[in-house]
Amino acid sequence: MKRCVLVTGASGFIGTRIVAGLAKVGWQVRAAARDPSLITAGGVERAAMPDLAHGADWPRLLEGATHVVHLAGIAHAPGALPDAVYNRINAEAVGELAGAARGKVERLVFMSSVRAQAGLSADRPITERDAPSPTDAYGRAKLEAERLVAESGVAFTVLRPAVVYGKGVKGNIAALATLARTPMPLPFAGFVNRRSLLALDNLASAVALVLDAEQAANQTFLVADDEAISVSGLVVAMREGLGRSPNLVKVPQGAVKRLLRTFGKEADWERISGEFIVDASKLRGIGWVPAVSTHDGIVRMMRTENGAAG
């Protein structure tokens, strides 16, 4: 019997790529989203999901499924939502899914986040051996969801991805890309601190691996590209993808911090100035090969979104 994977959150930035990738390699995919009409992949079964704030009919969605990739949830939005909302949708609903899937599926892959492991910066590379220390409601809810999955009795794999980038990305990467598209010099030449990111294609290959790998059973993995990149390196790659010179200038970091404060963006300072390196060697140890380097992935993203070939 052909194996069927239920993918929740199938119409989102990550879900769209995961659904297409799994269908391409031969999985029967049941793609579930709040609005199934937004699911663009061909050759998949589309299913409607309710608002997870009010519960879901998981037995109906799971019927006939042998595997699950759970992506649905609230994205990270600092200060935008009460803790209780994150906890309900990003933790309690996950626990309900895991309980419903127990004894019915071969593997539940839960998409957690590196924010379940750590805050915005770290003074040394982080690994799965480090005690989790989330610093906001989003990270705490993801960590609680991991606990509920592990205690449910379902066979599982947890992935903790770094910040994901690719065509259609939002958030801080998109904001930096908007700056990179302007002709103005940018004051990031002095920012050499490195941060780990994750190409969407690399994440898709990680999901495909852990759905099947025996070594991934009941394990938690950090996921990131092989090499971290600096903010200045990001802008260089973005402008290379646009066919332009870097046009970076070096200014005192204190001046950049004051500028961010002026625009109400002081909370972004740690993201720009802090070191955050993710050690994904545990996942590589079971055969994961992140084929896309961060530099090349960013160049390709900018070329694609700019309408250029590449």
pLDDT digits (tens, 9 = 90+) for 204-246: 999 999 999 999 999 999 999 999 999 999 999 999 999 999 9
**What's the length of the chain?**
310
Closest to 9 measured CA to CA, from 87, 80, 61, 66:
61
Closest to 68 measured CA to CA, from 101, 27, 36:
101
pLDDT at 1: 57
DSSP 13: H
Burial class (CB in 10 A: 0-12, 13-18, 19+), 273: middle
Which residue bears the tokens 């906890």? Answer: 87
Residue-by-residue DSSP string for 108-157: EEEE--GGGT--S--SS-B-TTSPP---SHHHHHHHHHHHHHHHHT--EE
pLDDT digits (tens, 9 = 90+) for 116-132: 999 989 999 999 999 99
Q: Where are the alpha helices (DSSP H) in the chain?
A: 13-24, 58-62, 83-87, 93-101, 137-152, 171-181, 200-212, 231-241, 253-262, 269-273, 281-284, 294-305
Number of CB atoms found within 10 A of residue 86's CB: 24
Greatest CA separation found in the chain? 62
CA–CA distance, 286 with 159 (Å, rounded to integer) = 14
CA–CA distance, 243 with 180 (Å, rounded to integer) = 11
Closest to 16 measured CA to CA, from 158, 126, 168:
168
pLDDT at 310: 37
Distance of CA 2 to the CA centre of its chain: 28
pLDDT at 266: 67
Q: Which residue ranges in the chain fall short of pLDDT 70?
A: 1, 78-79, 263, 265-267, 307-310
